[in-house]
Structure 1
Amino acid sequence: MEEEQRLEAARFSEEAALALVEKEKAKCKAALEAAEAAEKVAQFEAQKRRAAELRAIQDAEERKKAGTSLSQGGADIRYRKYDIEEIESATHDFANNLKIGEGGYGPVYRVYEYMANGSLEDRLFMRGNTPPLSWQLRFRIAAEIATGLLFLHQTKPEPLVHRDLKPGNILLDRNFVSKISDVGLARLVPPSVADSVTQYRMTSTAGTFCYIDPEYQQTGMLGVKSDIYSLGVMLLQIITAKPPMGLTHHVQRAIDQGTFAEMLDPTVPDWPVEEALRFANLALQCAELRRKDRPDLGNVVLPELDRLRTLADDVSPAGGFGFGGSTGSSPLNSQSSQDVFSDLQSGYDSSRSRSSTTSSSYGGRR
């Protein structure tokens, strides 16, 4: 009997021990599972943290690149780049009826408004038997050109130097409102250069001979005042309607000899000689051989041309178009610099296009 009791007690003890073992196993398993879950959570959190750190690094790099682009004038913010699909759309797949000529970089296509009165050069030399421009309209056109040029020179982050400013690149719409065209030779001057010496060296000069800044031609140093020289020669042509070769010398000699009135375009009978003389002296200052001697466009040139434009407006009856021999002029008053400037992504020499000049865009296939 006692033996049976001992066996029963042993059996209960064994069962209790087994139950305890199972319980401990369950606890151990639960602990392992909890540890595995905690490890997975830790790994997930670590992955999230690493991903966040990578994103932060990438964002910082992108911000740094953007800042560098802003400070150095990155290519993607300096100008608008058009892909071939956009050009094909603008030219109607290079339609022949939109082709207006050949330029230095390929065919020239009309993609913008038609400039009904061609170029300033056409009108100054009365091509196509057109009537001469009145002095009022000439003063107004000069101020519009200076306004548009100032817009180019004040572009951000880099000033834009046209490099080929001449009457053939000034287009006139049906109301004789002028627009600067043909920026195929234009250059963006790096901001670091623009902020320091306002000029920078080019490996080769470009432009039209009689209008090229002598310093730029000799040294390759390009700056916004390179355009001022071209402007000066063109201003003299506006009042004389004479070829550019040696024009500054001829005008200066006429002033010195007291025969300036004889230099004025004889197709205009009612020149205000005193104001035209001030206009000519300003043009001669712009065409000084040394760049440092040329006046500032915004502070000197444009204010004087605006004064002359106001004078022209005051003596012009409303509604006239400003042909020579009359007192009329363009019915339009001063316009914004962006309206005056007509870049139009031309990229060629509009003087190579036919006289029915239009604003244009390069549409040549590579």
Structure 2
Amino acid sequence: MLKKERERCKMIENERSLNSLDQEVITKFSFLEIQEATAHFNPSSKIDEGDYGSTYKGVLRHTQVVIKMCSDTSQYYQEVHIASMLRHPNLVTLIGVCQEAWGLIYEYLPNGNLEDRLICKDNTAPLSWQTRIQICKDTCAALIFLHSFEPHGIAHGDLTPQNILLDANFVAKLSNFRLRDAPLSSHTTGDFSAESDVYSFGGVLLRLLIGQATLNLDEILQNALDEDELDDALDRTAGQWPLEQVTELARLALSCCEIDISNRLDLQSEVWPVLERIQTQCEPASSSDRSSGDTQQSSSLDRSPGEEHPRPPSYFLCPIKHDIMEDPVVAVDGYTYEAEAIRVWLIDHNTSPMTNLRLENSNLLPNRIVRSAIQEWLQSNES
């Protein structure tokens, strides 16, 4: 009886916490919309299934999204709480929720997860070594942000190639945090620590270098270094790695995978400077490859072929003006618009520009979550 009462109190607390986030205007979707977006949870729409529940891809309000249906309330409320707080260009963006069905709606990243790209699933092109170096930097940047988050650092807890997603420009974004019912503090022991994330990061580097999903990648790489045969161990589908830089990257990966926690590198002070230097040294080679047409796809620095700038996510665009929004607001129809554009529309209309249905009122609420995501995206692409 006492357990049930605690669970009921926890549920009330979670609901109050979520409702308090209304001031940030987390977009709400109905269960009917979720059903329609997934063709009533058709198996063909399913992306993944795990202990937390099932994940689907679908189209909500003319936007392609990923819909995560949580299997329990604690998972749902904690993920909403964390995802709504954490805004970074290398973390997957939470777009909205379906509270009645414990659903979480995230941005859709068209290049899928890193694991699928490394094994060239669906006959996709292999990742070039330039793109792999950029993925290392993107992943490191996200972890540094998480570990330094105030007031307590946050550990990802499950950093694997499956949980590193790639957008249209092959920018890496972390997803699927391994959540638990505990204070948001990562600098402890076990899987939920900054040190364990560093170890996992080293494992990701090993996969990017070697390509294979085999055991003892650290031993394979260490033996290759000891015998001066590193080139033979590298994934040759990535192209011709620059030997000096890839040797430094290999030693970096092995240092992150040290069994002794005290010997593992610090991401911000020791890993990040090395990654920046390696990428800077490799930029002339990248430019040469691009001019000769040898690169197989663009990194977040290279952009997409023929593009000067990366494409913004579709939900950054105003449905009326089709430009990136500067002041996004939510209308009563549930859609997000550029404030000036929807106000001009409402002067002569009492219907939704998206559904053509009559609007109950002309109230507009600032969508601070989308605005924050847009600002971060713009800042990361200023150069």
Query: Which band: TM-score by shorter chain?
Result: 0.5 to 0.7
Contact kept? 1:254, 1:263, Cα under 8 Å: yes
SS in 2 for 1:304: helix
> What's the RMSD between the two structures over aligned residues?
3.7
Please report how far the alpha carbon of residue 174 of structure 1 lies from its aligned counterpart in structure 2 after TM superposition.
Answer: 0.9
Counterpart residue identity of residue 142, structure 1: C
CA distance in 1, matches of 2:142, 2:247: 23
Q: Which runs of 5+ in 2 are unaligned?
A: 1-12, 57-65, 67-104, 304-312, 314-383
Please point out which of 237, 243, 259 is paired with 2:213: 243
Relative distance call for 1:243 and 1:315 in structure 2 (3 A) is: same
Query: Residue in 2 aligned with 1:330?
Result: 299
Say whether residues 1:275 and 2:222 are aligned partners.
no
Relative distance call for 1:331 and 1:296 in structure 2 (3 A) is: closer
CA distance in 2, matches of 1:307, 1:80: 45
Please report how far the alpha carbon of residue 236 of structure 1 lies from its aligned counterpart in structure 2 after TM superposition.
Answer: 0.9
Relative distance call for 1:331 and 1:162 in structure 2 (3 A) is: closer
Please report how far the alpha carbon of residue 92 of structure 1 lies from its aligned counterpart in structure 2 after TM superposition.
Answer: 2.5
Give deviations 1:187-226, integer Å, cap 9, x for gaps: 86666xx7xxx324xxxxxxxxxxxxxxx3xxx7x42111
Contact kept? 1:124, 1:241, Cα under 8 Å: yes
Contact kept? 1:164, 1:186, Cα under 8 Å: no
TM-score scaled by length of structure 2? 0.54
Please report how far the alpha carbon of residue 150 of structure 1 lies from its aligned counterpart in structure 2 after TM superposition.
Answer: 0.7
Counterpart residue identity of residue 308, structure 1: I
CA distance in 2, matches of 1:182, 1:282: 25
Please report how far the alpha carbon of residue 149 of structure 1 lies from its aligned counterpart in structure 2 after TM superposition.
Answer: 0.8
SS in 2 for 1:316: helix
Please report how far the alpha carbon of residue 316 of structure 1 lies from its aligned counterpart in structure 2 after TM superposition.
Answer: 2.3
Query: Residue in 2 aligned with 1:224?
Result: 194
Give deviations 1:147-195, integer Å, cap 9, x for gaps: 011111111111111111011111001111110111144786666xx7x
Matching of residues 98-117 of structure 1 within 5 Å: 100=46, 101-109=48-56, 110=66, 111-117=105-111
Contact kept? 2:218, 2:254, Cα under 8 Å: yes
SS in 2 for 1:131: coil
CA distance in 1, matches of 2:162, 2:146: 18
Contact kept? 2:154, 2:184, Cα under 8 Å: no
Pairs aligned (count)? 237
CA distance in 1, matches of 2:14, 2:243: 48
CA distance in 2, matches of 1:146, 1:251: 21
Please report how far the alpha carbon of residue 333 of structure 1 lies from its aligned counterpart in structure 2 after TM superposition.
Answer: 6.9
Query: Residue in 2 aligned with 1:294?
Result: 264
Please report how far the alpha carbon of residue 328 of structure 1 lies from its aligned counterpart in structure 2 after TM superposition.
Answer: 6.5
CA distance in 1, matches of 2:176, 2:154: 13
Please report how far the alpha carbon of residue 321 of structure 1 lies from its aligned counterpart in structure 2 after TM superposition.
Answer: 12
Query: Residue in 2 aligned with 1:153?
Result: 147
Using CA pairs below 8 Å that are at least 6 residues apart, which structure has the higher relative contact order? 1
Counterpart residue identity of residue 205, structure 2: L
Q: Which has the higher helix share?
A: 1
Relative distance call for 1:93 and 1:150 in structure 2 (3 A) is: same
Please point out which of 189, 199, 217 is paired with 2:188: 199
Please report how far the alpha carbon of residue 309 of structure 1 lies from its aligned counterpart in structure 2 after TM superposition.
Answer: 2.3
CA distance in 2, matches of 1:188, 1:318: 50
Relative distance call for 1:322 and 1:187 in structure 2 (3 A) is: farther
Relative distance call for 1:117 and 1:93 in structure 2 (3 A) is: closer
Say whether residues 1:312 and 2:301 are aligned partners.
no
Say whether residues 1:122 and 2:116 are aligned partners.
yes
Matching of residues 1-366 of structure 1 within 5 Å: 88-89=29-30, 92-95=33-36, 96-97=38-39, 100=46, 101-109=48-56, 110=66, 111-185=105-179, 198-200=187-189, 216=190, 222-317=192-287, 325-326=294-295, 329-330=298-299, 332=301
Give deviations 1:300-324, integer Å, cap 9, x for gaps: 011111222223334323995999x
Counterpart residue identity of residue 301, structure 2: L
Bigger Rg, structure 1 or 2: 1
Query: Residue in 2 aligned with 1:59?
Result: none
Relative distance call for 1:120 and 1:322 in structure 2 (3 A) is: farther
Please report how far the alpha carbon of residue 244 of structure 1 lies from its aligned counterpart in structure 2 after TM superposition.
Answer: 4.6
Relative distance call for 1:77 and 1:276 in structure 2 (3 A) is: farther
